[in-house]
Amino acid sequence: MSGTYTAPVGRSTTQIFSACTQYAAATLVAALRAGQFGPRSEHRRILVVSDTSPAPELGTPMHHRPGFEKLASEFDTVRSWNEFIRPFHPAGWSPREQDASLWERAVRREWNLRDDEPVEIACESIQANPAQALAVIFGDSPVHVYADGLMSYGPTRNKLDQVLGTRIRRLLHLDLVPGLRPLLLTEFGVESEVVPTDVFLKVLDELTEPTDVPRPTTTGTGTGTDGPDAPAPALLLGQYLSTLGILTPRQEEELHARMVRGAVALGHTRVVFKPHPSAPAQWARSLEQEAERLGAELTVLDTPVLAETLFATLRPALVVGCFSTALLTAASFYGLPVARVGTGPLLERLAPYQNSNRIPLTIVDALLPDLEDRSAVTGWSLPDAEAVRGGPSGLVSTVGYAMQPQIRADLRPVAERYLARHRDDLRRYFKRRRLTVLGLPGGAPAQLGFIPRNATVRRIARRARTLKRAAAG
């Protein structure tokens, strides 16, 4: 299946672009400016914005955030999916198949589309809503999938309907890890197409003028310097992982505190924290207390701007995060020093194994240095494309197979070879039980594979442990 855009024959087409984040919208705009969706003169373009956060009514809609008007200029119309389907939530609603034609007529009427007007769809995360909802409503339309982060390098997270899979024309993605090819949708023969990095960076440059960057409001007992001679700050990225059930709020608050402590331990006296837009305000206050205790200056950016727009304007001396896509954007696109924190415990805690955050987490853990390892941080550089193909590419393919062995059965030989060569490095990225169930190298020996699933053996083992404790007491 071709990965290059081919315009439909005959009449001009209405292109519907769905975006849930400003980063996603910026990726779309870059693809449009690079000509990856054909000449603008031949298409009507509608941007459909969605807020899929748990409580979208409490946040600032994407189309009301700073810089959005510069993105919107590439489209003829901007529509809010939240408003259109209210009171339904965009992450949880999709029409029933038998109602799809009714919803298509409603959408066409609301968005001023003729009944016979051909439509193309470009969307993120085709495995989930609102992308699936649009694909169901426009059931005969070709689909272009684009990726706004590291998840594109992982496998499709659940089995897609075969008919929908054959409608997908290509996967557009940013080249966040040069040398690494996406696994997403390859089971349908979908080819990937890179959105040019230089075009994407120009889009980011337009989103934030230098005057838009908030001036530091310092706390602590640092130098207080805020001029051209001030040292470049360390930029800390919050992700709000507790909303995904990956961490508890207290654990995530401690994760942010570790970021501050690690940055200060590396000699950074100025620290800027970019919280997730939905994160609670008390987290910022606890960080201020930690910075004050350490004698550092802390700035909390409470305006809803993209973290990526700060890379060029702040030129941070270090970018710190857990497994945010922005870490790879900083390293690959801006050449900035980066460090990760907290990935080890998350690799162990993340459940189920198929969780789609596992691939971003694995990539960041495998490629980036640990903030609390001074020598690793100071001596780190991003591997070149050949090194990635020779190392992390095999790891990602193997993790991808372990996550979705039915969808990506073709990756089993790759996984077997990789695991056979890296037996000493298994525990961090692979659970022994998972390897045992799949019959892969590193799992329990085949003759013992029945034990974890044998109720009688487990019952005897529990009884033996109880008797041992009683005897010891």
Q: What whole-number distance in Å separates Cα of residue 463 and Cα of residue 467?
A: 6
- The per-residue pLDDT for 465 is 61
- The per-residue pLDDT for 467 is 62
What is the rounded (10 degree) CA torsion for 414, 420, 426, 429?
0
Model pLDDT for residues 213-271, shown as the tens digit of each residue? 444 444 444 444 455 567 899 999 998 888 888 899 899 999 999 999 999 999 999 99
Rounded alpha-carbon distances, angstroms, from residue 469 to 306, 456, 462, 463: 55, 20, 11, 10
- The per-residue pLDDT for 210 is 54
Q: What whole-number distance in Å separates Cα of residue 415 and Cα of residue 200?
A: 34
- b/e map 42-63, b = 16+ CB within 10 Å: ebbbbbbbbbbbeebeeeebbb
The number of beta carbons lying within 10 Å of the beta carbon of residue 103 is 18
For residue 126, the number of C-alpha atoms closer than 13 Å in the C-beta half-sphere is: 30
- The per-residue pLDDT for 458 is 54
- The per-residue pLDDT for 262 is 97
Model pLDDT for residues 29-43, shown as the tens digit of each residue? 999 999 999 998 899
For residue 9, the number of C-alpha atoms closer than 13 Å in the C-beta half-sphere is: 0
- The per-residue pLDDT for 59 is 75
Residue 197's Cα: distance from chain center in Å? 17
pLDDT band at 447 (very low <50, low <70, confident <90, very high): very low
pLDDT band at 406 (very low <50, low <70, confident <90, very high): very high
- The per-residue pLDDT for 217 is 45
As a three-state string, the secondary structure of the chain is CCCCCCCCCCCCEEEEEEECCHHHHHHHHHHHHCCCCCCHHHEEEEEEECCCCCCHHHCCCHHHCCCHHHHHCCCCEEEEHHHHHCCCCCCCCCCCHHHHHHHHHHHHHHCCCCCCCCEEEEECCCCCCCHHHHHHHCCCCCEEEEECCHHHHCCCCCCCCHHHHHHEEEEEEECCCCCCCCCCCHHHCCCEEEECHHHHHHHHHHHCCHHHCCCCCCCCCCCCCCCCCCCCCEEEECCCHHHHCCCCHHHHHHHHHHHHHHHHHCCCCEEEEECCCCCCHHHHHHHHHHHHHHCCEEEECCCCCCCCHHHHHHCCCEEEECCCHHHHHHHHHHCCCEEECCHHHHHHHCCCCCCCCHHHHHHHHHHCCECCCHHHHHCCCCCCHHHHHHCHHHHHHHHHHHHCCCCCHHHHHHHHHHHHHCHHHHHHHCCHHHHHHHCCCCCCCHHHCCHHHCHHHHHHHHHHHHHHHHHHC
Q: Does 402 score more than 90 pLDDT? A: yes
Q: Does 19 score more than 70 pLDDT? A: yes
Q: What whole-number distance in Å separates Cα of residue 368 and Cα of residue 359?
A: 14
Q: What whole-number distance in Å separates Cα of residue 303 and Cα of residue 68?
A: 14
- The per-residue pLDDT for 56 is 83
- Highest mean pLDDT out of 220-224, 272-276, 455-459: 272-276
Q: What is the mean pLDDT of residues 142-149?
A: 93
Q: Give which of 57, 81, 96 is closest to 130, Cα–Cα.
A: 81
The region of weakest confidence among 188-197, 206-215, 274-283, 379-388 is 206-215
pLDDT band at 211 (very low <50, low <70, confident <90, very high): very low
Contacts (Cβ under 8 Å, ≥6 apart) of 138 = 16, 104, 107, 119, 121
Residue listed under structure tokens 């310097």: 225
Q: What is the mean pLDDT of residues 396-425?
A: 93
Model pLDDT for residues 311-334, shown as the tens digit of each residue? 988 999 999 999 999 999 999 999
Q: Burial, 464: exposed, middle or buried (Cβ in 10 Å; 0-12, 13-18, 19+)?
A: exposed
Q: Which domains does the chain have, with CATH numbers?
A: 13-207 (3.40.50), 213-390 (3.40.50.1980), 392-451 (no CATH)
Q: Give which of 222, 56, 218 is closest to 130, Cα–Cα.
A: 56
240 — alpha (psi -120 to 50), left (phi > 0) or beta? left
Estimate the crossing angle of helix 392-403 against helix 358-367, to 10 degrees: 160
